[in-house]
Amino acid sequence: MVSILDRKVRRDLKARRSQFLAVVVTIILGIALFGGSYDAYLNLTESYDQLFVRLNTADMTITGGESNAIANDAAATPGVETVSRRSVAEVPVRIDGHHKMLARLVGLPVSGQPETDQVAVLSGAYLDGPSSVLVEQHMADHFALATGDSIEVLGPTGWTPARVAGKVASAEYLWPAPSRQQIFPSFDDFGVLFVADSVLAASPVSRQEVLISYSPAADTSATDTALLAVAKEHGAADATPLAEIPSNAALSEDLAGFQEMSLMFPLLFLAAAGMATYVLLTRLVLAQRGQIGLLVASGFSKRTIFGHYLRFGLLAGLLGAAFGAPLGGLLGAEISRLYTGAISIPFTVTTARISTAGIGVAFAMVAGALSALAPAIRAAKISPALAMRGLVPAGRGGTTLLERLLPPMRKLPARWKSVLRGIGRNRNRTLSTVLGVMLAVTLILTFWGMIDSIQVLLDRQFHQVNRQDAQIYLTVPVTPDFISAVRGINGVATAEPVTDVAATVHGVAKQYHTELIAFESGSAMHGFELDHSRGGLPEDGIVLGSSLRTELDLALGDRVKVDIPDLGVTTEETVAGFVKEPLGTYVYMAAPALQKLTGGSEVANSVYLQFDPGVDREVMRDRLSELSSVAAYIDSRTLESMANQFMGLFYAFVGIMLALGGVMAFALIYNTISANVAERASEVAMMRAGGIPRSTISRLLTSENVLLTLIGAIPGLAVGYVFAYYALATYSNDLFKWDLYIRPTTYAFTVIAILVAALASQRPVLRAVQRIDVATVVRERSL
């Protein structure tokens, strides 16, 4: 049977339905976003794990060095289950007879799937001979390659046709990034092909990889350490654990993002809902002091009163969870489906989980209960004798700090003084409003700051750091004649030879596999901003990406060993500087210094170009690709637009977050402002009775609310900055260096956005003020 107190709860909530709805909506958002992001995190993790297991992905890949010795030692390492080998090479390929690009050729046995690092055949069939190739799904889709199509691979004897046997997915290339340095691939310029290993092994440009799988009982960390030592001992160029392969590392960033958001959302939204509930209930308890006094005087226990008001919070939590949890499940499944679809993961898990919904319900109930706790305790402590007297101290008096600091403020008109002092009138509510505004500003600035930073850093990467319009890779070393020929092409403003080769830098305890790029002295193709000076690329020594400072524990002036296997060079160089570049971690060296190490021979393998303004880039691609020794052509603008395109999902996501931040701000500010105005109904009526126009009263209330919002917005900007800083810092590693850059206009727009939310949220309240019936208030003696 429904008790009368339950009925009272229902009717009290009905009387304050808009404020209660605001609370419930905020909880729904928090729980739904928690469920969505957490389920997405679990689904994606399970999808990846399932793929890795199904395709027997290697736990460690060791590249280069004495592969026989590495394979033997690896097999003897505790925890290792299987060891196999394969060949890999970067080779120019030609699509449709003219589109030149680089492809990574990965060797597979023609007889059937390998033991480790298998591929999933999505269409067509597995390799059926030495002239067949399997095309990784991103490349196949980008060029619309189907079974039976032909592509050309540049072999020792020139362009050789290969038949497409099928389209495949590979766990290693879920995201087909060429390397950790080039995490944003351009599908126009890079793709992955799987070819007969027997053919590839014979190629002079191929390198050997040792693929190692661990036994289920292996101590992954200990086995990783042991194998890294094996790799180092036998001169391997690189040793990559499963977690660090470029594709996996890039996707792990997204996973970490979902995991962080699944924590951040409930924190932000439930905190906001909690404050809104607190404000609503505090006001309710204040308004019902007489009723509470009567109930206590009539024999209701304090526990009953406490439970009665706690029920408001629990009910808000329950309703929020009832809608939020299923919504979260749907959202999680949808995000998982969209994301796995966008990345093209062949085996996906997109379920809604009961356990996540359960956690969401618990979150909502705890938030509801916590927010109702203080008002419920206050209600239980009300003395019936005092409460039934009916006179409640309406607020505090006192001059503001501003008036004390700035004495001329005391001469303000009384109505404006009431605005200033209204802020300190109910400190708990003011604090709730300010904290709520801070939360909303934090949410908005964090995400907006991330957008700003990424835009600024991508712009910096593609305009200030990389200054070339295009680069071409050659099958033979670049000669002065070739450079002259390129410079003579119509539309080319300048061209420089550049050496771009694989390199391994050895730190004190670790080594790092990357690319060494050597530029001409005074190169116009790359902007160097060294940590310690602005002098550009030094003549001697090497310049390293800044993450190697911590990654390899290096400092300026240290001597480090650098292996450059493609040039047959091992050298010890001085660290002449560190550069902080947004994408990748490279080693830079002056071309003359590198040439000295190679005995003066021509080693440049690519040409970087800048074009005349306004040239047709497609025409330039055709003109330059036609040159006989050109193996691949990469347009910098394509890379930039691909990077921006990849960020599109992120921008959409952030846009949704900004909108939800606005909703949250609206809900919270609406509740606090409603309470603020409700408390003053009698004062408003008095002012109206005294002849103060409605417009003046609205202006006074608006001013107070705007002031309160600004007071919350300013610390919110600082907290938002710190949040954004740490949010980006968690994504920074050797792949990305997302330093925080927030445009000054972003601060202004954030404050404007929050002010708009505040002004919008007070509109219904002001309408209620307009509708206050002075006569009724007078008649009911509530004045």
Q: How far is the CB of 290 from another protein (least distance, A)?
A: 14
**Of these, 147, 150, 418, 595, which contacts another protein (CB under 8 A)?**
418
Q: Could you tell me if 231 and 563 are in contact, meaning their C-beta atoms sit under 8 angstroms apart?
A: no
DSSP letter string, 266-326: HHHHHHHHHHHHHHHHHHHHHHTHHHHHHHHHTT--HHHHHHHHHHHHHHHHHHHHHHHHH
Q: How far is the CB of 778 from another protein (least distance, A)?
A: 6
Phi, psi of 240 (to 5 degrees): -120, 115
Q: Could you tell me if 363 and 70 are in contact, meaning their C-beta atoms sit under 8 angstroms apart?
A: no
281-340 residues near another protein, rule: CB under 8 A: none
DSSP letter string, 105-130: EEEE-TTS--SSS-EEEEEE-S--ST
Instruction: Specify the residue, 688 or 737, whose C-beta has the smaller distance to another protein.
Output: 688
Instruction: Specify the residue, 155 or 290, whose C-beta has the smaller distance to another protein.
Output: 290
Q: Could you tell me if 292 and 304 are in contact, meaning their C-beta atoms sit under 8 angstroms apart?
A: no
With a CB cutoff of 8 Å and minimum separation 6, the contacts of 61 are 209, 210, 211, 212, 238, 239, 240, 245
Q: H or E segment at 574?
A: strand 569-579
Instruction: Specify the residue, 532 or 781, whose C-beta has the smaller distance to another protein.
Output: 781
**Of these, 10, 381, 404, 779, which contacts another protein (CB under 8 A)?**
779
C-alpha 735, offset from chain centre: 13
Residue 691 near another protein by CB under 8 A:
yes
Q: Is 201 helix (H, G, I), strand (E, B) or coil?
A: helix
Report the DSSP pairing between strands 119-124 and 511-519: unpaired
Report the DSSP pairing between strands 60-63 and 238-241: antiparallel
Stretch that binds another protein, among 186-194, 214-222, 438-446, 682-690 (CB under 8 A): 682-690
224-283 residues near another protein, rule: CB under 8 A: none
Q: Could you tell me if 231 and 154 are in contact, meaning their C-beta atoms sit under 8 angstroms apart?
A: no
Residue 698 near another protein by CB under 8 A:
no
Stretch that binds another protein, among 276-284, 318-326, 352-360, 413-421 (CB under 8 A): 413-421
DSSP letter string, 750-768: HHHHHHHHHHHHHHHHHHH
Beta bridge partner(s), residue 511: 506
Stretch that binds another protein, among 293-301, 410-418, 595-603, 735-743 (CB under 8 A): 410-418
Instruction: Specify the residue, 759 or 774, whose C-beta has the smaller distance to another protein.
Output: 774
Phi-psi region of 354 (alpha: psi -120 to 50; beta: other; left: phi over 0): alpha
**Of these, 506, 694, 699, 743, which contacts another protein (CB under 8 A)?**
694
Instruction: Specify the residue, 94 or 421, whose C-beta has the smaller distance to another protein.
Output: 421
Stretch that binds another protein, among 64-72, 258-266, 632-640, 680-688 (CB under 8 A): 680-688
C-alpha 35, offset from chain centre: 18
**Structure tokens, 591:** 């071309």
Report the DSSP pairing between strands 158-170 and 99-108: unpaired
* Number of residues in the chain: 783
Cα(8)–Cα(304) distance, integer angstroms:
13
Stretch that binds another protein, among 149-157, 282-290, 601-609, 684-692 (CB under 8 A): 684-692
Instruction: Specify the residue, 425 or 526, whose C-beta has the smaller distance to another protein.
Output: 425
**Of these, 337, 415, 487, 510, which contacts another protein (CB under 8 A)?**
415
**Of these, 109, 384, 424, 527, which contacts another protein (CB under 8 A)?**
424
Binding mask 369-408 for another protein (x = CB under 8 A): ----------------------x-xxxxxx----------
Cα(48)–Cα(347) distance, integer angstroms:
8
Instruction: Specify the residue, 642 or 774, whose C-beta has the smaller distance to another protein.
Output: 774
Instruction: Specify the residue, 434 or 458, whose C-beta has the smaller distance to another protein.
Output: 434
Instruction: Specify the residue, 205 or 783, whose C-beta has the smaller distance to another protein.
Output: 783
Q: How far is the CB of 430 from another protein (least distance, A)?
A: 12
- How many Cβ atoms are within 10 Å of 406's Cβ, its own excluded? 10
Instruction: Specify the residue, 302 or 389, whose C-beta has the smaller distance to another protein.
Output: 389
Q: How far is the CB of 400 from another protein (least distance, A)?
A: 9
C-alpha 211, offset from chain centre: 31
**Of these, 417, 506, 617, 699, which contacts another protein (CB under 8 A)?**
417
Stretch that binds another protein, among 184-192, 415-423, 441-449, 648-656 (CB under 8 A): 415-423
Size of the site for another protein (CB under 8 A): 34
- How many Cβ atoms are within 10 Å of 366's Cβ, its own excluded? 16
Q: How far is the CB of 692 from another protein (least distance, A)?
A: 6
Instruction: Specify the residue, 164 or 777, whose C-beta has the smaller distance to another protein.
Output: 777
The sign of the torsion formed by the CA atoms of 44, 49, 54, 58 equals positive
Beta bridge partner(s), residue 571: 562
Q: Tokens 């609370």 identify what position?
A: 23
What is the Cα Rg of the chain in Å?
33
Stretch that binds another protein, among 142-150, 274-282, 685-693, 718-726 (CB under 8 A): 685-693
Binding mask 755-774 for another protein (x = CB under 8 A): -------------------x
Stretch that binds another protein, among 42-50, 443-451, 502-510, 690-698 (CB under 8 A): 690-698
Instruction: Specify the residue, 1 or 391, whose C-beta has the smaller distance to another protein.
Output: 391
Q: How far is the CB of 735 from another protein (least distance, A)?
A: 56
Q: How far is the CB of 401 from another protein (least distance, A)?
A: 14
Q: Could you tell me if 268 and 30 are in contact, meaning their C-beta atoms sit under 8 angstroms apart?
A: yes
**Of these, 682, 698, 703, 733, which contacts another protein (CB under 8 A)?**
682
For the chain, how far is it from start to end, CA to CA, in angstroms?
Answer: 38
Residue 781 near another protein by CB under 8 A:
yes
**Structure tokens, 574:** 């001085």
Q: State the residues that interact with another protein by CB under 8 A.
A: 391, 393-398, 413-415, 417-418, 421-422, 424-425, 682-683, 685-694, 774-775, 778-779, 781, 783
